[in-house]
Amino acid sequence: MGSAAAYHLARRGVRVLGLDRFGPAHDRGSSHGGSRIIRQSYFEDPAYVPLLLRAYELWAELAERSGREVYRLTGGLFVGPPDCLTVAGSQRAATEWSLPHEMLDAAEIRRRFPTLTPGAGDVALYEAKAGFARPELTVAAHLDLAAREGATLRFDEPVLEWSDGPRGVEVRTARGSYTAGQLVVCPGAWAPALLTELGIPITIERQVLYWLDPVGGTAAFEDHPVYIDENARGQQIYGFPAIDGPRGGVKTAFFRKGRECTPETIDRTVTDREVDEMRERVIQLLPALSGPAVHTATCMYSNTPDEHFVITRPEGYANVTVACGFSGHGFKFVPVVGEVLADLAIDGVTHHPIGLFDPRRLVTT
């Protein structure tokens, strides 16, 4: 989100300084792992769809301006019992916004996608415009374009504290202090530490990503849709085509199956038991993914209590804009969130519908 904000602000002629505690497109937060699902039939809430439609326009623009394959449309299958959130929620959003989609029964899923073995009572919503974004390439593309537009970007410079006053903001880092007219804070998993005074309830959760070696090789998974599968217990998994070559395996993961942590205490070691649990679940849908893990990685979700985002000009802070709490489903919005943050920092308002992301909804009285 910070890289996109830096780009959109610099593109509008604003003098921009970007600060990151690590290097560019790093793997210590929540923006790595090679792929993120993008989709429009949004089961989380139909209110996200207008932002997604704009995000898709900006994904295409980013790819063109950067010359990088920052995203790819592969089609997407959202599978489970007809009344589960993954299916019913996707169908609700698709219907409400007249999004092109197909509803498939289990037999049709198996016929069209032979790698999948859904349960007899399962159905799927198929969305041709779904696919995946490449997080590291996306961040790098935004940073490169921001620099091209004149932004100054500084890395390996952790922010220690910030303050807002009548004449602007001050940010203190491990290297020095800076003043500016406006501050945009996109802290990711560091939100609890950097936004303490704002009282936004965010918990950080460790998540694990798995690349499994499919029986018979990766060929059957190279031209493959992304998927989200929900079982009768409401447990969701998701996965991608094979995009890392014949030896790269096929990426899959649980959605919202982690344990609370902080950026300092996260356990980066993935155990054999975790791999076994992932494999046991995913082979229910994709039996070929019964091979060993060729790679694993960890990342962090920054969760709000209702799992909706926080994008705001906080009350009492005249010169500050905050974006946080993306709750494991925010990356597909990166380009449009950058645009929103530029609007808010320059004009104080945006025409985009962001009422759902007002943090006042999270305040209990």
Q: Are strands 76-80 and 226-230 parallel, antiparallel or unpaired?
A: parallel
Helices (H) and strands (E) in the chain, counts: 9, 20
What's the token pair of residue 95? 């219907």
Query: Under 8 Å CB-to-CB from 227, ≥6 apart: which residues?
Result: 76, 77, 78, 79, 116, 238, 239, 285
pLDDT digits (tens, 9 = 90+) for 71-81: 999 999 999 99
Three-class DSSP category at 136: helix
pLDDT at position 156: 97
Three-class DSSP category at 141: helix
Asked whether the predicted pLDDT for residue 91 surpasses 60, the reply is yes
∠ CA(47), CA(139), CA(289), 5° rounding?
Answer: 80
Distance CA 329, CA 309 (A): 9
pLDDT digits (tens, 9 = 90+) for 270-284: 999 999 999 999 999
Ramachandran region, residue 128 (left: φ > 0; alpha: ψ -120 to 50; beta: rest): alpha
Distance CA 4, CA 139 (A): 7
Per DSSP, what are the bridge partners of residue 169? Answer: 164, 180
pLDDT tier at 364, thresholds 50, 70, 90: low
Question: Cα 69 vs. chain centroid, distance in angstroms?
Answer: 17
Asked whether the predicted pLDDT for residue 84 surpasses 80, the reply is yes
Long-range contacts of 265-274 (CB under 8 A, 24+ apart): 266/204, 266/206, 266/298, 266/300, 267/206, 267/298, 268/298, 270/208, 270/210, 270/296, 270/297, 270/298, 274/208
Distance CA 157, CA 140 (A): 17
pLDDT at position 257: 87
Check if the beta carbon of residue 142 is closer than 8 Å to that of residue 3: yes
CATH fold match for the domains 1-29+136-202+306-348 and 36-133+203-303: no
Asked whether the predicted pLDDT for residue 113 surpasses 60, the reply is yes
pLDDT at position 363: 81
What's the token pair of residue 184? 């945009």
Q: Which residue has the tokens 């940010």?
A: 171
C-alpha dist (Å) from residue 163 to 78, 251, 253 = 44, 41, 39
Distance CA 321, CA 196 (A): 15
What's the token pair of residue 62? 């980013």
Distance CA 89, CA 230 (A): 12
pTM: 0.96
C-alpha dist (Å) from residue 214 to 81, 117, 220, 297 = 26, 15, 9, 18
Does the domain at residues 36-133+203-303 carry the CATH identifier 3.20.20.80? no
Three-class DSSP category at 65: helix
Distance CA 281, CA 271 (A): 16
pLDDT digits (tens, 9 = 90+) for 191-221: 999 999 999 999 999 999 999 999 999 999 9
Helix (H) or strand (E) segment spanning residue 110: helix 106-112
Mean pLDDT of 332-357: 98
> 223, 238, 207: which is closest to 78 by C-alpha?
238
Check if the beta carbon of residue 337 is closer than 8 Å to that of residue 7: no
DSSP state for residue 359 in the 8-state scheme: G
C-alpha dist (Å) from residue 64 to 35, 60, 70, 71 = 19, 6, 10, 11
| Domain map (residue ranges) of the chain | 1-29+136-202+306-348, 36-133+203-303
> 186, 198, 76, 78: which is closest to 139 by C-alpha?
186
pLDDT tier at 256, thresholds 50, 70, 90: confident
Asked whether the predicted pLDDT for residue 295 surpasses 70, the reply is yes
What's domain 1-29+136-202+306-348's superfamily in CATH?
A: FAD/NAD(P)-binding domain (3.50.50.60)
What does the chain come to in residues?
365
DSSP state for residue 271 in the 8-state scheme: P
> 33, 231, 241, 57: which is closest to 139 by C-alpha?
33
Distance CA 212, CA 300 (A): 21
pLDDT digits (tens, 9 = 90+) for 142-157: 999 999 999 999 999 9
